[in-house]
Amino acid sequence: VQLVESGGGLVQAGGSLRLSCAPSGFAFDEYAIGWFRQAPGKEREGVSCISSVDDTTYYTDSVKGRFTISTDNAKNTVFLQMNSLKPEDTAVYYCAARYLPIGTSYSAQKPLVYEYDFWGQGTQVTVSS
């Protein structure tokens, strides 16, 4: 079971990037997918989440209105569209999957590190001022 991320890079402040997260060995249908980020010297924080149960989404306050989480039609890939990027968005970004057993009622909420079962390798996002 793997999550493969792509899409990071270097961008100027105000620019955009789109991160992708694709599963290998499982389907997203029974999972919540979260995006996390970790800046140097800081703890990993949950940024956004999407629930496969009801397709609800969550964003932490600092990215609301700038980031959008979505899936493709087949739910094979999860995207994090990041617009109006700021230098403080600089971090390694990780996607992660949280298993939701069949019948679970789950609406997207702030993703917490300990709740997630599988992690991607991380992708660097650097925003220059």
DSSP, collapsed to helix, strand or coil, labels residue 54 as coil
Q: What is the pLDDT along the chain (129 residues), one digit of tens a residue?
A: 789 999 999 999 999 999 999 988 887 888 999 999 999 999 999 999 999 889 999 999 999 999 999 998 777 899 999 999 999 999 999 999 999 988 888 999 999 999 999 999 999 999 999
Q: Are the C-beta atoms of residues 80 and 35 closer than 8 Å to each other?
A: yes
Q: Which two tokens stand for residue 30?
A: 């029974």
Q: Are the C-beta atoms of residues 105 and 53 closer than 8 Å to each other?
A: yes
Q: Are the C-beta atoms of residues 34 and 49 closer than 8 Å to each other?
A: yes
Model pLDDT, residue 28 = 82
Q: Are the C-beta atoms of residues 112 and 105 closer than 8 Å to each other?
A: no
CA distances from 81 to 31, 49, 58, 63, 92 (A): 20, 13, 14, 11, 15
CB atoms within 10 A of CB 93: 24
